[in-house]
Amino acid sequence: MRKRELTPESSSRWAGAITKASHDQWALARRSAHAHIQSLDAGVQTLRHRLSLPVGEKGSKRAPGGYHSRREWHAKARRLHVLEDRLARARADWEAGTVHVVRGGKRLARARHHLTDAGLTETAWRERWEAARSFVQADGESGKRFGNETIRISPDGEVSLRLPAPLHHLANAGHGRYVLTGRIRFAHRGQEWADRVAAHRAVAYRIHHDTTRGRWYVTASWQKPVTRTVPMAAALAEGVIGVDMNADHLAAWHLDTHGNPVGNPHRFSYDLTGPADHRDAQVRHAFTRLLHWAQTCDVKAIAVEDLDFTAEKTREKHGAKKRFRQLISGMPTGRLRARLISMADATGITIIAVDPAYTSRWGAQHWQKPLTSSTRRTSRHDAASIAIGRRAQGYPVRRRKAPPRTHQSDGCGHRTVQARPETPGREGPRPRIPGPRTRSVPPDTARTRATRTSNTVRDVRSDQDWVQDSLLLTD
């Protein structure tokens, strides 16, 4: 209906672009409202649980305990009423289908009343506000010239726009088109964009104005084909790289096909403070270095933890642990994993998500001390990356135990490294070899000492009655 009303005043393409942009904004606000309701509900349930417990009662691993003092209990009781009121309003808006959208951003709108604190003048704020609220974008269409009929960019960088019918008098080219004087070029994936444009495949464009730099930018996007799923055995054929995601760095270690760490650990740091563009650039740079290192190791798989802190970020659960709450809130695990998957798809590397349970604890317990030497200091995060990689390969996290002293069990035949079941001399149950059950007589030796009867008798239980074992045991 909205598109039909806008089409006579502009065109079908521009009406579709306007309605799609507003619908996407509404859908985003709707998802945010649902996430806000879930967060408020989790906080209310936690407060009710902790208020129902006696003051000072200790909690468990899965549920927090009571509050430490009567003063804290009273303050949390008041906060419970505040959250219940917010939850009731949010649910009422959700049921009524009401969404709250500020085109241009709520933060920028609030900055209008605090220009001094924001370091802006009224003119500068107005210019930034108008730039944030305006947009020019159009979806692509395969088969059309250069992949987009509304915003057309040729391989040499010429940009032209198809003007709506009421603005045809402003056209400076044929067929109601307006050609811009500036030329554009794409530094990132420019060759891939040029190949799509030359083949007339769909490319979507968005033009926006950066008031800080005083420049206009064009963003190109296209849909990539669905990646075929690689079998687990094929992905792990050349080993794996285990990655432990942290608040400020990625700890990675290369494991061979038997689950043994190879070489030294690697650390890829990033900074998740500052604006969104800075954080995204930091993440992309760290993942780019990780993928380049994986290619040099000839590894086709990277193992990461399937982390989700959605239910852990509420302050009602962790109480006064402010630094811990800031730590888990500052780790956008879902965004990091989505970014890594999209970047790894372009390099042909498979991402394997594993269960994050006890990887840091068991990694530090079984791998941190053995891999620490005078020239290498293994951190807890490095040891966790080994646990993540071994779990992706299907191996247990703990190491093989050291062999016993000579002649205490089987000499020094046991191994502390990972070995396949068919490897001779591996640690584990040995196949049954016919012959005398003794360590002093090899299985192939003739039974020369079995001429006399042993004094040791062993009884076994049969299905009918008790009988004596006929096997002779030597001293």
Nearest-angstrom CA–CA distance, 134 and 138: 14
Nearest-angstrom CA–CA distance, 204 and 197: 11
Note the pLDDT tens digit of each residue in 379-397.
999 999 999 999 999 998 8
Note the pLDDT tens digit of each residue in 135-177.
788 888 888 899 998 899 999 999 999 888 888 888 888 888 9
Note the pLDDT tens digit of each residue in 19-40.
888 888 889 999 999 989 998 9
Give the ranges where 355-434 is alpha helix by DSSP (H): 359-363, 380-393
CA 466 centroid distance within chain: 63
- SS3 category, 149: coil
Residue pointed to by tokens 């969404």 = 99
Nearest-angstrom CA–CA distance, 228 and 348: 10
> Apex CA 82: angle with CA 43 and CA 30, to 5°?
65
Mean pLDDT over all residues of the chain?
80
pTM more than 0.75: no
234-393: CATH topology is: Nucleotidyltransferase; domain 5 (3.30.420)
Note the pLDDT tens digit of each residue in 325-338.
555 555 566 667 77
pLDDT of residue 400: 67
Domain ranges of the chain: 2-101, 135-221, 234-393, 435-475
Nearest-angstrom CA–CA distance, 325 and 232: 36
Half-sphere exposure for 65 (CA within 13 Å, toward CB):
11
- What is the rounded radius of gyration, in angstroms, for the C-alpha atoms of the chain? 33
DSSP string, 208-253: EEETTTTEEEEEEE-PPPPPPPPPHHHHTTT-EEEEEE-SSEEEEE
410 secondary structure, DSSP code: B
Per-residue confidence at 466, pLDDT binned at 50, 70, 90?
A: very low
